[in-house]
Amino acid sequence: MHSGNQLLLLVGGAELFPALVEAMDTARRVVHLETYIFEFAGSALGVAQALERAAQRGVLVRLVIDGVGTPRVPDEWKKRFAQAGVRLRVYAPLGRLGLLIPSRWRRLHRKLCVVDGTVGFCGGINIIDDQDDVALGRLVAPRLDFSLRVAGPVVADMVETMEQLWWRLQAVRKARQREFRAAWEALRETLPVGDFSRLLARLEAGSDRDTGANHRKPDGESSPPASLSDGPLGVDNARAALLLRDNVSHRHDIERAYLKAIGESRHDVMIANAYFVPGRKLRRALLMAAQRGVRVRLLLHGKYEHFMQYRAARPVYQTLLGGGIEIHEYATSALHAKVAVIDQRWATVGSTNLDPLSLLLAREANVMTTDRRFSALLHRWLADVVEREGQQLDAQVLGQRPWHQRLLDRLAFGVMRATLFLTGHRY
């Protein structure tokens, strides 16, 4: 946990994309962006254009997209990125057999961006217009989602994790091209960065080992100080940490942080999550909190997108409702948020759904803070959404639905658990 961070909550692409563009347009050394979905349409085009402009100025621009979330980049933008000098990598392309191979279920789901090592972004917002949805089509209202703009020590941790993934992708790429020496050199770069100042020094010296290009800053220029606007949902000097989930050294970090915070809760648990199928440990922690007299409120996605996520969640809802937990479905539009506030003393914003895909398989990233000011602001925001735009579920009504619907729910839950068993996981 680091002190001295500045945190600004950004609601939807309407707030995130202009902040990204502003940071990218002032970049002098490096822009590094990772995202699950990059849709080259609508308001998301502004981000693509900002990446292009930065590369044209000589800034080192790296873009990593997921092979499932973004299966295809339009030919026009492939050409534009190549001409500008944007370095584009695809995480785990599916190939001919696609998702039939269980190892390919491990996706890059995190949404991270760092500019010049001084400002970072972390959250759940993909690079897609707020009213465009891959599954639901054009939405009647913007989806509900969040991201954080961060300045301070946490940004160094973002740089380190993004650098490691980039060079691993480089190693795989070179190995496939039978350039084994280059692959080994790239693999060496995945070792822990350690001293962040050495990393920045390398970037400033123009060490771009994937192209050999020189990106030296003009003489006499210095980086502007990182700062955040005095918006109503921003705080300075906050204690915060970057939490990761991967398949190597951070398999359960995010889940454990949730379990610890919920286990220590005394008054109020507020969770907004898009795909909510918690495992046994999380379910037990939530139920035990409710038994202690903690008010537990869940704001969840209420629209049907995918059979498995929608149906498998219903048996879990029945159990939680029976234990005194409030479940509110977001009724206005799609909900894609992955945030939580506990006792207005602990909060997290990130890419992690509380479901098996996020907690067991995907690469995820959340920022966690124990800043009471930020926690209170986010809590007030979520409570207002629950009050105005949530539809509270009733346990009796849910249990009295037609038998065939309840059968489909149980079938989906069983298939989900059996599928996870094939990957070596119990949930």
The DSSP-derived string for 145-176 is -EEEEEESTHHHHHHHHHHHHHHHHHHHHHHH
Do 162 and 242 lie in one domain? The reply is no
Q: Which residues contact 348 (CB under 8 A, 6 or more apart)?
A: 243, 257, 258, 339, 340, 366, 367, 368, 369
Q: Are strands 295-301 and 326-330 parallel, antiparallel or unpaired?
A: parallel
Among candidate residues 174, 215, 338, 379, the one labeled active-site is 338
Bridge partners for 8 per DSSP: 149, 234
Flag whether pLDDT at 426 surpasses 80. no
Looking at residues 69-91, what average pLDDT do you find? 97
157-215 tens-digit pLDDT: 999 999 999 988 887 665 555 555 554 555 555 444 433 444 444 444 444 444 333 33
Question: Is 343 considered catalytic here?
Answer: yes
Looking at residues 135-147, what average pLDDT do you find? 95
Question: Is 338 considered catalytic here?
Answer: yes
322: containing domain: 238-422
Do 180 and 42 lie in one domain? The reply is yes
Question: Is 371 considered catalytic here?
Answer: no
| Type of residue at 389 | E
Question: Is 111 considered catalytic here?
Answer: yes
Alpha-carbon distance 251 to 230, whole Å?
Answer: 36
Please answer whether residues 291 and 323 qualify as being in contact, where contact means their C-beta atoms are separated by less than 8 angstroms.
yes
Please answer whether residues 115 and 31 qualify as being in contact, where contact means their C-beta atoms are separated by less than 8 angstroms.
yes
Overall number of domains in the chain? 2
Q: Exposed (0-12), middle (13-18) or buried (19+): which is 147, by Cβ within 10 Å?
A: buried
Predicted confidence band at 66 (pLDDT cuts at 50, 70, 90)? Answer: very high
Confidence at residue 316, expressed as pLDDT on a 0 to 100 scale: 93
Looking at residues 374-388, what average pLDDT do you find? 96
Q: Is 225 part of a structural domain of the chain?
A: no
Do 269 and 196 lie in one domain? The reply is no
Confidence at residue 247, expressed as pLDDT on a 0 to 100 scale: 82
Residue 38 carries which DSSP code? B
Lowest mean pLDDT of 85-89, 104-108, 367-371, name the range.
Answer: 104-108
Do 80 and 199 lie in one domain? The reply is yes
Confidence at residue 289, expressed as pLDDT on a 0 to 100 scale: 98
Among candidate residues 111, 174, 328, 379, the one labeled active-site is 111
Q: Exposed (0-12), middle (13-18) or buried (19+): which is 424, by Cβ within 10 Å?
A: exposed
Looking at residues 29-44, what average pLDDT do you find? 98
Do 103 and 199 lie in one domain? The reply is yes
Q: Is 317 part of a structural domain of the chain?
A: yes
| Type of residue at 273 | N
Bridge partners for 90 per DSSP: 65
Q: Is 233 part of a structural domain of the chain?
A: no
Last residue of one domain, picked from the residues 204, 229, 258: 204
Task: Identify the CATH number of the domain in which residue 304 sits.
Answer: 3.30.870.10
95-122 tens-digit pLDDT: 777 776 766 778 999 999 999 999 999 9
162-to-68, 99, 300, 342 alpha-carbon distances in Å: 19, 25, 30, 29
Q: Is 212 part of a structural domain of the chain?
A: no
Q: Is 228 part of a structural domain of the chain?
A: no
Alpha-carbon distance 140 to 127, whole Å?
Answer: 19
> Across the chain, which distance is largest between two alpha carbons, in Å?
73
Among candidate residues 129, 130, 133, 343, the one labeled active-site is 343
Q: Is 218 part of a structural domain of the chain?
A: no
More confident position, 383 or 172: 383
Do 164 and 283 lie in one domain? The reply is no
Do 397 and 278 lie in one domain? The reply is yes
Do 183 and 246 lie in one domain? The reply is no
Please answer whether residues 127 and 44 qualify as being in contact, where contact means their C-beta atoms are separated by less than 8 angstroms.
yes
Do 179 and 323 lie in one domain? The reply is no
The whole-angstrom distance between residue 321's C-alpha and the CA centroid of its chain comes to: 28
Among candidate residues 32, 174, 301, 336, the one labeled active-site is 336
Do 156 and 8 lie in one domain? The reply is yes
Do 121 and 199 lie in one domain? The reply is yes
Q: Is 409 part of a structural domain of the chain?
A: yes
Question: Is 109 considered catalytic here?
Answer: yes
Q: Where are the alpha helices (DSSP H) in 250-371?
A: 253-263, 280-291, 307-322, 356
Q: Is 223 part of a structural domain of the chain?
A: no
Tokens representing 278 are 């918690």
Flag whether pLDDT at 421 surpasses 90. no
Do 189 and 105 lie in one domain? The reply is yes
Question: Is 78 considered catalytic here?
Answer: no
Q: Helix 154-176 to helix 180-188 angle, to the nearest 10 degrees?
A: 170
Closest CA to 116 of 171, 60, 77, 162: 60
275-to-13, 152, 331, 386, 404 alpha-carbon distances in Å: 19, 31, 15, 17, 22
Closest CA to 121 of 97, 95, 89, 145: 145
Note the pTM of the prediction, 2 decimals. Answer: 0.87
